[in-house]
Amino acid sequence: MTWGLFTTWILPGLWVTVQVTIFSAALAFAVSLAIGTLRTSRWWIVRFLSGAYFEIFRGTSALVMLFWFAFAFPLMFGYQLVPMWAGVLALGLTYGAYGSEIVRGALAAVPVAQREAGIALSFTPMQRLRRVEFPQAWPEMVAPLNALAIELLKGTALVSVISVSDLAFAGNVIRLSTGDNAPVYTLLLVMYFILAFAITRGMRVVERQAKKGIGQEPERVPLFRKRGAGSPGAAGDTRAMGGVNA
């Protein structure tokens, strides 16, 4: 693969992938917060409708949803979506359904005593959510949302099937024109990994700040651990050997 092909196809494809990831993630985050919060409502009709959204989008294929927005939506509503925005809608709404379960679970994990304290202070439900529940639930959401963001990044490759010139589309064009299968797809793997690594590092910073905001000291996990008395494989750790001392 020549430098000209790299600058003509790969770099523009990288920019398109970044844009699709950012816009889809923003939409998915907004949907996650809205649907996840509504699923904790005291009104059964609200829980039913938000739960129906969750089940529908969780139970349908993201690829088929992409085709629906690109090809069925214009026929049904008479409005043609730009392919890139069709992809953003399909990915954002689909992954937002998965994210809503993360939000719902984190809010449900807030101790009941905290909610009761908000009631005792005469907070409205919205005030309790904003001042009591969400600040405590947010640190628990970050790590699963990080994993979901990486899955969304990898899912952006689907937009290539509706002719959006992302990384996957650019790699396929170069492969067909040069026949360099191994170099092209190896390069794509490396570039997706770099993007995923950047997302992970950014979310780690967000997680540390979220935990500091509620007075928790973020856990620092070393990259490598020495084999010592505290490790599961240590000679003195009887739990690692089924409780039998040597």
- Quote the domain boundaries for residue 70: 3-217
In a domain, 241, yes or no: no
Report the 10 Å Cβ neighbour count for 193.
Answer: 10
Report the 10 Å Cβ neighbour count for 211.
Answer: 17
User: How large is the C-alpha radius of gyration of the chain?
Assistant: 23
Dmax (CA) for the chain in angstroms is 76
- Give the CA distances from residue 6 to residues 13, 40, 76, 234, in Å, rounded to whole numbers and listed in that order: 10, 49, 39, 50
DSSP state at residue 206: H
Cβ-count burial of 218 within 10 angstroms (0-12 exposed, 13-18 middle, 19+ buried)? middle
Mean pLDDT, contiguous 10-residue spans, the chain (246 residues): 77 95 96 94 93 93 94 92 94 96 92 82 83 88 94 95 92 86 91 96 90 68 52 42 39
Tell me what pLDDT residue 162 has.
Answer: 93
Report the 10 Å Cβ neighbour count for 214.
Answer: 11
Q: Could you tell me which of 54, 65, 34 has the C-alpha nearest to residue 155?
A: 65
In a domain, 238, yes or no: no
In a domain, 246, yes or no: no
Q: How many domains does the chain have?
A: 1
In a domain, 233, yes or no: no
In a domain, 226, yes or no: no
Please write down the long-range contacts of 234-242, taking CB distance under 8 Å and 24 or more positions apart: none
Taking the model in full, what pTM does it have?
0.82
Distance CA 133, CA 37 (A): 11
Sign for the CA dihedral angle at 161, 165, 171, 176 comes to positive
In a domain, 15, yes or no: yes
Tell me what pLDDT residue 110 has.
Answer: 87
In a domain, 124, yes or no: yes
Buried b / exposed e along 129-159 (16+ C-beta atoms within 10 A) = beebbbebbbbbbbebbbebbbebbebbbbb
Distance CA 147, CA 157 (A): 17
Tell me what pLDDT residue 114 has.
Answer: 82
- The two structure tokens encoding residue 126: 């919205």
Q: What is the CATH number of the domain that holds 210?
A: 1.10.3720.10
Distance CA 207, CA 168 (A): 30
- The two structure tokens encoding residue 42: 């005291």
- Give the CA distances from residue 219 to residues 149, 203, 204, 209, 212, in Å, rounded to whole numbers and listed in that order: 21, 14, 11, 12, 11
The amino acid sitting at 97 is A
